[in-house]
Every structure is written in structure tokens, then in C-alpha cells.
Amino acid sequence: MAEGIIIKALSGFYYVSDGAKLISCRAKGRFRHVSTSPLVGDHVTYSVTSDSSGVIESIAPRRNSFIRPAVANIDCMIFVASVAKPVTDPYLIDRVSVIADRASCETIVCINKCDLRDPEELSGIYTKCGFSTVCTSALTGEGVENLRTLMQGKVCALAGDSGIGKSSLINKLLPGLSLGTGEISDKLGRGRHTTRHVEFFPLDEETYVADTPGFASFEVQMVDSIEPEDLQYHFRDFAPYLGSCRFDDCRHLAEPGCAVLAAVASGELPPSRHESYKKLYEVLKTQSKIYR
Ligand SMILES: Nc1nc2c(ncn2[C@@H]2O[C@H](COP(=O)(O)OP(=O)(O)OP(=O)(O)O)[C@@H](O)[C@H]2O)c(=O)[nH]1
Ligand SMILES: [Mg+2]
Ligand SMILES: [Zn+2]
């Protein structure tokens, strides 16, 4: 039995790298009946069939996995945002960072299209919150080397809305590659869902980046379940204030003597972070799951 990593999934085929070559594999039938069907990033064993394609036989235990983007075993989720079209809602950044944090995965905030609008305000929020934050332009190349430095030695996946510039950034990181990119629709100001599959590209021997399809606003998909009381711990910037509230069971929503609210009022915590916390708390309380 051979071993490898799935680096691409497309039309029912999984492309497994053994370090030297790619083997196109089908999944064994039984995976279709269990929730753990193979994901890009999975370490697998496979048997080679007579026509030199393969069959995936087993999936190694995962260190983490995500539904959107559909990837496994990621060190770092790079959330690509923009203050130009399509403008990113900070709530989406915060929601993805909570899901990543729960999966023991670092979040890098990459604010792209900085040639079109000054990203200062948005980047200030995330720098202040302790996230690795980088401002880039896939058009001019500004900031792309800073992004590369932050990615060094990690298995990364790009995530973010359609049209935000994920594929364009990978093209800039890997000159010679020319992934398809799509114009922003004038009418809707959104991307056109150009990338349709997840695929890993090596930046060097120990650094990998996955291009992924953009999020679609109409999709409703269960992402993860988190107890509402545990949400506060996934807002890492709240940590200095937790334990200083008047009430031990403070939910940091509107309670008197809340240290988190006091930090928002004094400008130590960005208001948008607390807005996202409140929104997510309500979602978790009513549905016990985060949907997107
Ligand atoms: N001005 C400017 N345009 C950019 C930048 N990055 C990407 N674009 C443009 O934005 C459009 C969308 O870029 P893509 O790379 O296809 O976006 P994507 O995130 O891969 O989109 P999906 O594959 O649909 O998820 C293209 O027209 C790009 O040329 C940038 O930094 N500055
Ligand atoms: Mg793309
Ligand atoms: Zn509180």
C-alpha cells in the first residue's frame, strides 16, 4: 500500500501526491456512506490499479478539518479581505477566525486590493487584536513578500469571498502559474465564482498554499458547534479582560461591571469585534451551531 497527500479534488477524482508524482484516485465505495469522505490535505493510503490510477483505502486521523473551504490538516487559514469591491464584512473575518481557532489553526488576515483603497482602518483593527495582518495588492505585488514570510513553513489555505483575489495572490506568489481569475460583476459588485475546486500548490519544500472557491452568501452550511459560554475564549483579544467582570458568569453582552464592555468603551477593544461576538453568541444560543 502506498502513502500520499491529496492535493486536489475534482469531479470525483482525488489527486494524490507521493512526493514525486501525482496519482489520480477514486475513493473506496465505503467512504460514501460515512461522514469522513476524503478532503484535500488528507494523508491517505492507496492501492494502485492496473491502469496506474489508484483507489484510496484509508485516511489518517486529521489534526483538523473544515467544511468551507473543504480542507484538512491546515496550520494556517489566510482570510483574504478587501476594503474595495467586494467589500468584506468584518463579521465574516471574525466568524472564520473563531472556527479556525477552535480547530487549533492560526488565522492570518490579508487585506488585498490595497492599490484601490487605503486599508489602514481595517488592518488597524486586526493588528490591534493580535492577528498577523498583511496588506497586499495582487495587482502591483505590494505586500506579497510580507505574506510569503508569514506563510513560511506552514500548510496554508486561502479563504474569502469570491472576487477578493485569492487566485490572483497565488499567481503573484508563484510566477509561472496562471490560475484563472474572474472580473467583478459591475451590477452586483461580487465575484463570479471562478475557482471551483480546492488545490494545493507548493511555495517551497515546507510551505503549501491551497486555492479555494470563494464563499457564496446564499450558502447555508453547518460549520461547527461551540457552546455559547466558550465563545469568549475564541476571541483571543478578550483574554486580558476575562475574569475581571463583576459577575463570574458574565456573558459580556450588557451586564453591569463587564470588563470587556469597559474595554470597548475605552477604545481598547474595537467595537466591531464586540459586535461580532454578540452576533455569534446569539446564533450559538439559538442554534448551537454557526451557519454561513
Ligand atoms: N486592483 C486590484 N484588482 C485585483 C487584486 N486582486 C485581484 N484583483 C482582481 O479581482 C478580480 C477577482 O480576482 P480572483 O483572483 O479571480 O478572485 P478569487 O478570490 O480567486 O475569486 P473566486 O475564484 O471566484 O473565489 C480579478 O479581476 C482580479 O484581477 C488587487 O490586489 N488589486
Ligand atoms: Mg479564485
Ligand atoms: Zn463581562
Between residues 218 and 185, the one the model is more confident about: 185
Q: DSSP states of 71-104 as a string?
A: EES-SEEEEEEESSSSPPPHHHHHHHHHHHHHTT
Nearest C-alpha neighbor of 112 from the set 21, 173, 36, 42: 173
Starting from the CA of residue 78, give the closest ligand: 1
Rg of the chain over Cα atoms, rounded to whole angstroms, equals 20
Same domain as 207, residue 141: yes
Residues 50 and 78 in one domain: no
Instruction: Kindly report whether the global pTM for this prediction surpasses the value 0.75.
Output: yes
CA of 261 from ligand 2 middle (Å) equals 39
Q: What is the pLDDT of residue 216?
A: 65
* Mean pLDDT, the chain, integer: 92
Q: Which ligand 1 atom sits closest to the C-alpha of 196?
A: 23
Residue 183 CB less than 6 A away from ligand 1: yes
- Residue 86: is the preceding peptide bond cis (ω within 30°)? yes
Reported as a pLDDT band with limits 50, 70 and 90, residue 220 is: very low
Measured distance CA(40)–CA(49) in Å, rounded: 21
DSSP states of 34-74: SS----BT-EEEEEE-TTS-EEEEEEPPPS-EETTTTEES-
| Ligand 1 atom closest to Cα of residue 192 | 24
Q: Are the CB atoms for 2 and 56 separated by under 8 Å? A: no
Q: What percent of the chain has a predicted confidence (pLDDT) above 70?
A: 94
Kindly report, residue by residue over 62-76, the tens digit of the pLDDT: 999 988 899 999 999
Say yes or no: 200 and 277 in one domain.
no
Task: Tell me the C-alpha distance between 161 and 159, whole Å.
Answer: 7
CB of 107 closer than 6 angstroms to any ligand 1 atom:
no
State the average pLDDT over residues 172-200: 91
Nearest-ligand number for the alpha carbon of 261: 3
Reduced to 3 states, what is the DSSP secondary structure of residue 111?
Answer: strand
What number is the average pLDDT over the span 260-274? 98
User: Ligand 1, closest atom to CA 138?
Assistant: 31
Considering its fold, how many domains does the chain have in total? Answer: 3
226: how many CB neighbours lie within 10 A of its CB?
A: 21
List the one residue out of 98, 104, 105 whose CA is nearest residue 76.
105
Mean pLDDT to the nearest integer, 9-14 = 93
pLDDT in tens, 107-140: 999 999 999 999 999 999 999 999 999 999 999 9
* Short-list 261, 273, 262, 166, CA closest to 209: 166
Task: Choose the residue to mutate in 82, 168, 190 for probing ligand 1, maximizing ligand atoms within 8 Å of C-beta.
Answer: 168
Ligand 3 centroid–CA 250 distance in Å is: 5
202 and 86 housed in the same domain: yes
The verdict on 121 and 90 lying in the same domain is yes
Provide the grid cell at 98.
Answer: 473563531
In whole angstroms, what is the distance from residue 200 CA to residue 184 CA? 24
**What is the pLDDT, as a whole number, of residue 161?**
94
76: domain range? 66-211
Residue at 240 is within a domain = yes
Is the beta carbon of 167 within 6 A of some atom in ligand 1? yes
On whether residue 136 sits in a domain, the answer given is yes
For 49, other C-beta atoms within 10 Å of its C-beta total 12
CATH number of the domain encompassing residue 183: 3.40.50.300
Residue with cell 491546515: 74
Closest-CA residue, ligand 1 atom 30, reads 113
